[in-house]
Amino acid sequence: MYETTWDVVGADYTPDDSHLLVYVNADARTELVMLNAQTLQPVALPRVPAGDITGVDFSEDGKRLGVLRRVQPIPVVVVDRRTRRRGPGNWCRR
């Protein structure tokens, strides 16, 4: 069980079910917490730039995490779980 002093508003497993991404409403802003799905121990994620998070999705292989924020000029941030790099990204398939 995952416990926090704030409200948990949702959670999703990675495509391979190895990790659980928890969405926490922390003082009117959404924070992301990645947990190992078996141990429920936190797994470090790169810091997501400030902004109201309105959507999150994993790539099909689970290596990247797309974060949609209510902020301009770059509302989408792509986080690579393995390299821990983050930045603006193209989430569309070509």
Tens-digit pLDDT profile for residues 21-69: 998 888 878 888 999 999 999 998 877 766 678 888 888 888 888 888 7
Q: What pLDDT does 86 receive?
A: 60
Longest dimension (CA), the chain: 42
Give residues with Cβ within 8 angstroms of 49, minimum separation 6.
69, 71, 77, 86
Q: What pLDDT does 40 receive?
A: 92
Closest CA to 87 of 71, 72, 70, 66: 66
The sheet with strand 7-13 has its strands ordered as: 7-13, 19-25, 30-36, 42-43
